[in-house]
């Protein structure tokens, strides 16, 4: 069987695994990410790959895909910039290839994860999938016409940074009113903290979970309280969910996907988030009277998506 | 030489032409569009094609592409809905094919025009082109990875109907705050008419061109006055141009194209419109400090784009 | 008993009446408004007053108050501009006084109505009343510290034209995003008409009341359907009511009134409108955790308010 | 001569002075503010008053006015809530009166300052003055019909907390999109810091003044750089100034003042701030074609306004 290896380089750890043609993760390992040192990073990736060493009579690892949180050039060789990893114009493909003696390709990690979901996860069977990752911020990955869509310079699918509110909330990207400021995990926290300050009675459960410190309410408290049926927490999810749906409506107008796959920590809330999101999506998408409404699904592969996607893309 | 025929069915006339492999329009003809009668429409298309009849020893017309303003199904056979033509679930491909005895494909007209610009016009040489048509409304066509991007159900690239202002201006599509309400020819007219009502002195030239009837100021008056250097008209273009640019910034965040091609009547103003658009685009696009900024160009093919694009797509 | 006469000059009719010190309307008459002719207008006002002629042993009419829809100067003598009546710098006080031989004062009609409500209507007993008239547009009248508040130049309380949405809906005043475009009768109609076009099923009842012509749905149809419990109509009132409440929150931040009195045709819907308005008001007013929340009441005097207020103000 | 004493209780210091009927400050003193102790606070106020002890043959101190940053009840006796001073339902008038043996009234500090400016400062001669204080936040004080306007419950003129942007920036008051988030000193800093992060070249001077630490750029750096003509700093003032002007336009629609008096630290920039503010005001105020445009002036009394206003109000 032709196997591939996927490597997902995050800010704190390198996760890697052996993946079969059906997208199954056969073996997995992780290492700490060396800080701000491209050579040490390549060494660590190589060591991780060695460690996975897969030898069975009928199997062969044929290629390695490496996902990084950063801009990757169109040849999938160079990391143009990856702020969290301290990389700039880093020839990562070449450096890793020298060490592992196998074909290597570099991918943007969100694209890799989107590919995995589109091929093997919540979007399987569809050629037009928009993945939205609701983590601290909002990221995205596009699978269009059955292919990862990277744009001309590899920086497409920055869906968290299109503007939903003129003169809106300040964003770390230097703009105001970015979708990320309304639909992310940080937005959910801010919503809950504001509620706790403005209306402590309504946020009683949330406050209790955070030891009565409004500014300590984090996403997991909101999710837990919402699962318990707490009305304050549910209200926060309704606000954020509605913004998720409004953004999906805009993306549907432009991209007409068959389905949206929603991942990231906020999506752990499942339908608590997705029901208001779907509702707002359907209420806002243009042409809703005649178009087929795209499905909105929760991602299925979780943190494995980056490994599986990078692996699978390495031999395409 | 292998030639193709492109047919562009508009609300009032059918324009058609013979196109060579380099996108040149070798011959052209037009007919009136029969109203609300699919059979008469197919007859008229066939007659138009016959009339173009092209017979030279070394040439051969091998296929026909028909562009319509409406949703086309994924097989490029059926017009799902075309409000202006009164069509619904119309098997246009079959009906035309029976009459002309040549392979026929149906295309959305904006997609056809975008394809022509990307292949032979302002976007030639690029595989990632976003075309935006600023007419009465705002339409769009996407060429991604070198192919027309139609979405899952053929309704992608409705860029005029993503939302730029929450609770914004009402749009005919049933939503509020659509980009079309801020960046279209109708927006330009409204801007000029508002100026004429609120500040007649500043709109003196505009009013004169419209026989002192503020509500009669149309796009061509604004364009003419702007070309003359009239400050009132230029101010209107600056407002609309800025909205064009803001929208391009959002589209660039999502699609990362190599260039934007701006067509439609409003684009006749050229740099009068595009300079403020480029400025706003550069000021608003996310990652502007590190990304390569896409070019913003005026469409080159004008009203021929629909014919040329439909023709060229017929044999791909 | 000392009586006064109030005259309310509207675009189509002049309504007048004799008012006692308790704000009771003892007798009433109406005449057509002469068009665009200040002299004829003064004649008509005088005739109306004569007609009311009130002679009883113990009663005496001591002054006349005339309300007009327009800007009135600080001496309450001159109509600076009244577009609907074709008046500009019109010495209306003098002209009427010559004809009736009684002291006359001129008032802005919205101020007169607000005064009546604050003294004798829904706001009686309070010295801080903000009246908001939700008619075709949105007007306002302020009673602050127990007095009509007119501003420095008589143009205060144009509450319909403060901005609630940047880049919002175009307003006849030349601005965009005025409160009037969101909270008025016209906004209610637009909401209902949009619903009927976008979602005919949900607007079934509304469409039936308007003979299936979406663009013919007017305020009274929406009110009637809402009274019947129709969900589509109620949804329209919820949208407009929420905007009413948001505006009240802004006005409360600035003016801290004891109560709001809501009049005009839209207020005929009573709690159907006011419940969502109160809810949005309470959710949005600054300092809501500690401040006393102003009451939101329906106007009580209806179309008599203008007469009663103008009369009562004539002798203060 | 009948004199009065004004006391301005701030979070860190108590400033007090003797004021003559022409609003002149004849003598002045300051003390530290005791923290969170109402009794110690009253003691400190009394000591401050004693220290001012004014004895001349023809003079007599007849009353004391005390300004506090908080809500004051309608009898001007009780501090309902003053978060920065740790007061709640504090009978401050009585407590001070017992110690000083003179009539005492309590005032909101912003109202006191507004009164001083309207009587003796930039607004003198006018009966309709809106004062806006652009400090860290945005405060306001209204003089209407020649009197301080306090509203029904003493909480009027919270102009910093009406909403200018739906879904706008989060505000400490629990709302979003408050004017304060766009027109305050904090907004100016955020604008400059954002500029420095997004466009270091344009913010070169600002960065230099802040030792190259973008997040250390404060209002005074922006003001200094603007005075030097630095284009980046001027751009920040243009943004904030435009928001100031938009807000003034809204306030003018509601209140029709004769003039606006702009105070607070941001107003130290003078015309650098006020020119863009006036421009935006004139471009946005409703009825601008026919109304008289209120003047926009810089406050004249600086930090003395609170003392002078509290003093003068004590004997009215």
Q: Which of C161, C164, C166 sits opposite D286 (nearest CB)?
A: C161
Where is C143: in which H helix or E strand? Answer: strand C138-144
Least confidently predicted of A205-214, C75-84, D1-10, D39-48: C75-84
The mean per-residue pLDDT over the stretch C124-146 comes to: 96
Asked if D110 contacts D129 with a C-beta cutoff of 8 angstroms, the reply is no
Size of interface A-C (CB pairs under 8 A): 9
Disruptive mutation site among C279, C289, C291 for chain A (greatest number of A CBs within 10 Å)? C289
Q: pLDDT digits over B128-174, tens only? A: 999 999 999 999 999 999 999 999 999 999 999 999 999 999 998 88
Q: Which of A166, A199, A289 sits opposite C198 (nearest CB)?
A: A289
Same domain (yes/no): C201, C83:
no
Same domain (yes/no): D269, D165:
yes
What are chain C's partners, defined as 3 or more CB pairs within 8 angstroms? A, B, D
pLDDT of residue A35: 82
Contact C163 D164 (CB under 8 A): yes
Q: Which residues of D touch C246 (CB under 8 A)?
A: 163
Q: Which residues are CB-contacts of C149 (< 8 A; sequence separation ≥ 6)? A: C142, C143, C156, C157, D144, D145
Disruptive mutation site among B161, B164, B165, B191 for chain C (greatest number of C CBs within 10 Å)? B165
Q: Which of C150, C166, C287 sits opposite D173 (nearest CB)?
A: C287
Q: Which residues of C touch B190 (CB under 8 A)?
A: 170
Disruptive mutation site among A158, A248, A292 for chain B (greatest number of B CBs within 10 Å)? A158
A263 lies in which domain range? Answer: 126-298
Q: How far is D110 from chain C (nearest CA, A)?
A: 13
pLDDT at B51 over 80: yes
Residue length of chain B? 316
Phi-psi region of C17 (alpha: psi -120 to 50; beta: other; left: phi over 0): beta
Contact D289 B166 (CB under 8 A): no
The mean per-residue pLDDT over the stretch D184-209 comes to: 94
What are chain B's partners, defined as 3 or more CB pairs within 8 angstroms? A, C, D
Rounded distance between C-alpha atoms, residue B267 and residue B275, angstroms? 11
The count of C-alpha atoms lying within 13 angstroms of the C-alpha of D200, restricted to the half-sphere facing its C-beta, is 11
Same domain (yes/no): A28, A109:
yes
pLDDT at B122 over 90: yes
Same domain (yes/no): D99, D196:
no
pLDDT of residue C305: 96
Nearest to B131, CA basis, from B291, B292, B267, B229: B267
Same domain (yes/no): C114, C152:
no
B window 5-64, beta carbon within 8 A of A: none
Same domain (yes/no): A308, A294:
no
pLDDT at A90 over 80: yes
Asked if D205 contacts D192 with a C-beta cutoff of 8 angstroms, the reply is no
Q: Looking at beta carbons, which pairs linking C48-56 to residues 24 or more positions away fall under 8 Å?
A: C48/C7, C48/C14, C48/C16, C49/C5, C49/C7, C49/C16, C49/C100, C49/C102, C50/C100, C52/C5, C52/C16, C52/C17, C52/C18, C52/C27, C54/C3, C54/C18, C54/C26, C54/C27
Disruptive mutation site among D201, D289, D290, D293 for chain B (greatest number of B CBs within 10 Å)? D289
Rounded distance between C-alpha atoms, residue D2 and residue C124, angstroms? 40
Task: Tell me how many helices (H) and strands (E) chain B has.
Answer: 10, 13
Contact A289 C199 (CB under 8 A): yes
Q: Which residues of A touch C288 (CB under 8 A)?
A: 198
Q: Which of D81, D250, D258 sits opposite C290 (nearest CB)?
A: D81
Q: Which of B164, B246, B291 sits opposite A155 (nearest CB)?
A: B291
Rounded distance between C-alpha atoms, residue B273 and residue B240, angstroms? 8
pLDDT of residue C86: 87
pLDDT at C124 over 90: yes
Same domain (yes/no): A55, A173:
no
Question: What six digits make up the tokens of A190?
Answer: 């801010």
Using alpha carbons, list the distances in angstroms from residue A131 to A15, A179, B97.
21, 15, 40
Q: pLDDT digits over A264-294, tens only? A: 999 999 999 999 999 999 999 998 888 899 9
**pTM, to two decimals:** 0.93
Q: Which residues of A touch D197 (CB under 8 A)?
A: 174
Least confidently predicted of A295-299, B195-199, C181-185: B195-199
Q: Which residues of D touch C178 (CB under 8 A)?
A: 286
Q: pLDDT digits over B10-37, tens only? A: 888 999 999 999 999 999 999 999 988 9
Q: How far is D48 from chain B (nearest CA, A)?
A: 53
pLDDT above 70 as % of chain D: 99
**Residue C242 forms contact with D (CB below 8 Å):** no
Size of interface A-B (CB pairs under 8 A): 139
At C156 the three-state DSSP class reads coil
Mean pLDDT of chain B: 94
Contact B286 A126 (CB under 8 A): no
Q: How far is D93 from chain B (nearest CA, A)?
A: 48
At A51 the three-state DSSP class reads helix
pLDDT of residue A70: 87
Rounded distance between C-alpha atoms, residue D90 and residue D70, angstroms? 11
pLDDT at C54 over 70: no
Rounded distance between C-alpha atoms, residue C244 and residue C241, angstroms? 5
**Residue B166 forms contact with D (CB below 8 Å):** yes
- Residue C171: closest C-alpha in chain D: D286
Q: Which of C167, C199, C289 sits opposite A166 (nearest CB)?
A: C167
Same domain (yes/no): A216, A273:
yes
Same domain (yes/no): B108, B249:
no
Same domain (yes/no): C22, C80:
yes
Confidence of residue B54 (pLDDT cuts 50, 70, 90): low
Q: Which residues of D touch C257 (CB under 8 A)?
A: 151-152
Question: What six digits make up the tokens of D155?
Answer: 């909480």
Contact B254 A258 (CB under 8 A): no
Asked if D217 contacts D246 with a C-beta cutoff of 8 angstroms, the reply is no
Contact D198 B289 (CB under 8 A): yes
Q: How far is C169 from chain D (nearest CA, A)?
A: 14
Contact D288 B167 (CB under 8 A): no
The mean per-residue pLDDT over the stretch C161-176 comes to: 94
Q: Which residues of A touch C289 (CB under 8 A)?
A: 198-199
Question: What six digits make up the tokens of B302?
Answer: 């004008």
Q: Which of B166, B198, B288 sits opposite D166 (nearest CB)?
A: B166
Same domain (yes/no): D104, D129:
no
Rounded distance between C-alpha atoms, residue B283 and residue B293, angstroms? 11
Q: pLDDT digits over A28-63, tens only? A: 999 999 988 999 999 999 999 999 976 677 789 999
Phi-psi region of A310 (alpha: psi -120 to 50; beta: other; left: phi over 0): alpha
- The number of distinct structural domains making up chain B is 2
Asked if B84 contacts B260 with a C-beta cutoff of 8 angstroms, the reply is no
pLDDT of residue B281: 98
Q: pLDDT digits over A124-173, tens only? A: 999 999 999 999 999 999 999 999 999 999 999 999 999 999 999 999 88
Q: How far is B184 from chain C (nearest CA, A)?
A: 15
Q: Which residues are CB-contacts of D265 (< 8 A; sequence separation ≥ 6)? A: D134, D135, D136, D185, D219
pLDDT at D301 over 80: yes
Q: pLDDT digits over C238-250, tens only? A: 999 999 999 999 9
**Residue C165 forms contact with A (CB below 8 Å):** no
- Residue D288: closest C-alpha in chain B: B198
Q: pLDDT digits over D228-268, tens only? A: 999 999 999 999 999 999 999 999 999 999 999 999 999 99
> What DSSP state is assigned to residue A102?
S
**Residue D137 forms contact with C (CB below 8 Å):** no
Q: pLDDT digits over B278-288, tens only? A: 999 999 999 88
Q: Specify the CATH number for the domain of residue B87.
A: 3.30.420.40
Contact A198 D166 (CB under 8 A): no
Q: Which residues are CB-contacts of C162 (< 8 A; sequence separation ≥ 6)? A: C178, C179, C247, C250, D249, D250, D251, D253, D254, D286
Mean pLDDT of chain C: 94
Same domain (yes/no): B105, B144:
no
Q: Is the dihedral angle over the CA atoms C208, C213, C219, C222 positive or is it negative?
A: positive
Name the burial class of residue C94, with classes exposed (0-12), middle (13-18) and buried (19+) by CB atoms within 10 angstroms of its CB: middle
pLDDT above 70 as % of chain B: 99
B window 65-84, beta carbon within 8 A of A: 71, 80-81
Rounded distance between C-alpha atoms, residue D14 and residue D69, angstroms? 12
Task: Tell me how many helices (H) and strands (E) chain C has.
Answer: 10, 13
Where is B41: in which H helix or E strand? Answer: helix B38-52
């Amino acid at each position: 069987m032709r196997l591939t290896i996927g490597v997902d380089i995050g800010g704190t750890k390198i996760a890697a695994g052996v993946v079969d043609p059906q997208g199954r993760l056969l073996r997995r390992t992780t290492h700490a990410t060396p800080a701000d040192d491209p050579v040490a990073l390549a060494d660590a990736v190589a060591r991780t790959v060695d460690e996975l060493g897969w030898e069975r009579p009928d199997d062969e690892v044929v290629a390695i895909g490496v996902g990084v949180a950063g801009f990757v050039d169109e040849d999938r060789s160079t990391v143009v910039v990856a702020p969290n990893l301290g990389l700039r114009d880093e020839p990562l493909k070449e450096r890793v290839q020298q060490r592992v003696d196998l074909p290597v390709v570099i991918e943007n990690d969100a694209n890799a994860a989107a590919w995995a979901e589109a091929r093997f996860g919540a979007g399987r069977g569809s050629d037009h999938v928009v993945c939205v990752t609701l983590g601290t911020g909002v990221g995205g990955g596009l699978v269009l016409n059955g292919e990862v869509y990277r744009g001309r310079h590899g920086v497409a699918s920055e869906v968290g940074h299109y503007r939903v509110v003129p003169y809106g909330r300040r964003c770390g990207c230097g703009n105001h009113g970015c979708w990320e400021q309304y639909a992310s995990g940080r937005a959910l926290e801010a919503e809950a903290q504001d509620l706790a300050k403005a209306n402590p009675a309504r946020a009683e459960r949330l406050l209790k979970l955070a030891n009565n410190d409004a500014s300590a309410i984090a996403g997991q408290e909101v999710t837990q309280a919402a699962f318990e049926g707490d009305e304050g927490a549910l209200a926060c999810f309704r606000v954020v969910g509605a913004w998720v749906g409004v953004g999906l409506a805009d993306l549907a107008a432009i991209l007409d996907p068959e389905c949206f796959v929603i991942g990231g920590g906020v999506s752990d809330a499942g339908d608590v988030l997705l029901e208001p999101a779907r509702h707002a999506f359907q209420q806002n998408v243009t042409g809703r009277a005649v178009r087929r409404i795209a499905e909105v699904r929760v991602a299925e592969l979780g943190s494995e998506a980056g490994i599986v996607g990078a692996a699978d893309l390495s031999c395409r």
